[in-house]
């Protein structure tokens, strides 16, 4: 069960996902200044090399960095799924990608977003960089698909 904080985060994420295709890079805060999205041209490492992640969460504060270059190419539901995943990293204080995947998927599906877009959220992100896909990404994809199938069976 999502907390009130998680619901507020997801509401902010949905609002941002709806406008991410046309707003410029910059800082976007929730109305209560509780959450911050840093919309960057691209996400880079300390040496300036572009990272292939569409978003990442700051470990010590509720700030998410988002790559405009990658994010603009996704549908609104895929953007929401990605942001729900990032929110779960923060709220559950976890580095586990699988834990964040499943937590984010539950929130995404609980809001009524399409299941097919949930699958696309995983496969499109990994599919953009097939050279980076290994056993752990394949396992994560299987875990998400199994989670979605179980979720739908219990609706």
Which tokens belong to 151?
A: 């979720």
- What pLDDT score does 138 carry? 79
Check: CB of residue 55 under 8 Å from CB of residue 86. yes
Which tokens belong to 109?
A: 């599906």
Indicate the length of the chain as a whole number: 155
Q: What's the CA gap between 125 and 74, in Å, rounded?
A: 9
Kindly tell me the sign of the dihedral angle through the C-alpha atoms of 110, 16, 56, 117. positive
CATH of the domain at 54: 3.30.2010.10
- Give the number of domains in the chain: 1
- What pLDDT score does 131 carry? 59
- What pLDDT score does 128 carry? 62
The span from the first CA to the last CA of the chain, in angstroms, equals 15
89-101 mean pLDDT = 88
- 42 φ, ψ (degrees, to nearest 5): -155, 160
Largest CA distance in the chain: 47
Residues 6+ apart with CB under 8 A from 7: none
Domain extent, residue 69, equals 4-153
Is 10 a residue whose pLDDT tops 70?
yes
Is 62 a residue whose pLDDT tops 90?
no
Which tokens belong to 150?
A: 């179980």
Q: Where do runs of H (alpha helix) occur along 20-114?
A: 68-71, 76-92, 97-110
pTM for this structure?
Answer: 0.91
- What pLDDT score does 146 carry? 94
Is 40 a residue whose pLDDT tops 90?
yes
User: Which of these ranges, 4-8, 37-41, 58-62, 149-153, has the smallest mean pLDDT?
Assistant: 58-62
Give 58 or 18, the one with higher predicted confidence.
18
Reported as a single tens digit per residue, the pLDDT across 112-140 is: 999 999 888 888 776 566 556 567 777 88
């Amino acid at each position: 069960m999502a907390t009130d904080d998680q619901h507020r985060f997801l509401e902010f994420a949905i609002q941002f996902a709806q406008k991410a295709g046309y707003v410029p890079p910059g800082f976007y805060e929730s109305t209560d200044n509780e959450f911050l999205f840093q919309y960057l041209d691209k996400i880079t490492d300390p040496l300036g090399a572009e990272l292939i992640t569409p978003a990442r969460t700051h470990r010590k504060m509720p700030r998410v960095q988002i790559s405009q270059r990658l994010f603009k190419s996704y549908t609104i539901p895929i953007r929401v799924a990605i942001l729900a995943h990032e929110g779960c990293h923060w709220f559950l204080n976890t580095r586990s990608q699988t834990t964040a995947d499943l937590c984010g998927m539950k929130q995404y599906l609980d809001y009524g977003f399409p299941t097919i877009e949930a699958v696309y959220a995983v496969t499109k992100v990994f599919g953009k960089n097939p050279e980076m896909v290994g056993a752990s990404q394949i396992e994560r994809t299987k875990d998400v698909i199994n989670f979605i199938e179980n979720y739908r069976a219990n609706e």
